Amino acid sequence: MTVSAVSHQLKDLSDFLGERLYIKSGRGVLLTAKGKELAHSTAQSFRALDAGLLEAIGSPRSTLRVAVCSCFGPHWLSPRLPQFRSANPEIDLDLRLYANDPDPLDGVADAVISALPLRAGYNSVDLFDEQLVPVICPSASHNIAKNGLQLITTETEPCKIGDDWLSFDRETGAGFAARRIGDWVVCSHYILAIELARAGLGAALIPDFHAERSLRDGTLVKLHPATIPAGRTYSLYYKTTRANETAIAAFVRWFRTEVRKSRIATRIAS
């Protein structure tokens, strides 16, 4: 900005306030006592505004805070994090686990993995659509003909109890809900439902990535080979204004790589 432009703006401000804020000095200008007073007070205001914006946006950190729901964190993210740590030893991680999907707008973390919709002001990287697989412990599976089939549902609203199994039956024709004995076993979270299934309390519909380890070690078996969509898409969210920060950019690059690996593995498996 030229001296002339500054002079014009100062004149406009002086006229607006009705105060002499400056005097001409050669080719430049000098602030009057009133001008210096105004400059000091506005500088403080701008510093406060700058601090407020940094607080709202989030300032760069050496520690990357990652928030994730209780199902996704232990069963998808945790097994893969050693690769990120190995490639980025200078980035400290602060992992925060939530019973339900964390909301990016709550400001709980620098990066949020959630199935909530994209929020304004955020970038996202889609991971995959959640797929539900029916699982049961081996002993309960062998005794279905004798003892009947108990079903565990994670649909807890009174008017929706058992809807997950009814949806599975509509998609596959399996008819499990019609073969159910006793009341529904109702629980609020997948992390509890899978433990109930492992304990032999019935069959549960669980995200396939959540059931993967138990299916591999034989503590659970598939009740049916099909999976059905749960209607949720997991995504990584981070603020658009912070996309170029070193830690966030590194995590996003790594996450995109893991997304590609997961999609390739899914295509091979199918």
How far apart CA 36 and CA 24 sit, in angstroms, is 15
- Same domain assignment for residues 136 and 197: yes
Closest CA to 190 of 255, 127, 133: 133
In percent, the amount of the chain with pLDDT more than 70 equals 87
Residue-range definition of the domain harbouring residue 163 = 131-231
- Same domain assignment for residues 222 and 139: yes
DSSP letter for each residue of 146-165: HH-B-EEE---STTTTTHHH
pLDDT in tens, 45-95: 766 666 565 555 555 556 899 999 988 899 899 999 999 999 999 999 999
- Total domains present in the chain: 3
Q: What angle do helix axes 78-87 and 246-269 make, rounded to 10 degrees?
A: 130
Q: What is the mean pLDDT of the chain?
A: 86
Q: Which residue has the higher pLDDT, 11 or 132?
A: 132
- Same domain assignment for residues 255 and 137: no
Could you tell me the pLDDT band of residue 266, with boundaries at 50, 70 and 90? low
> How is residue 189 written in tokens?
């979270």
pLDDT at position 101 over 70: yes
Domain boundary pick from 39, 57, 75: 57
Residue 2's pLDDT is: 66
Could you tell me the pLDDT band of residue 208, with boundaries at 50, 70 and 90? very high
- Same domain assignment for residues 238 and 114: yes
Are the beta carbons of 57 and 176 closer than 8 angstroms? no
- Same domain assignment for residues 77 and 205: no
- Same domain assignment for residues 154 and 198: yes
Question: Rounded to an integer, what is the distance from CA 35 to the centroid of its chain?
Answer: 49
In percent, the amount of the chain with pLDDT more than 90 equals 58
pTM for the model stands at 0.71
- Same domain assignment for residues 124 and 247: yes
Q: Are strands 228-239 and 122-136 parallel, antiparallel or unpaired?
A: antiparallel
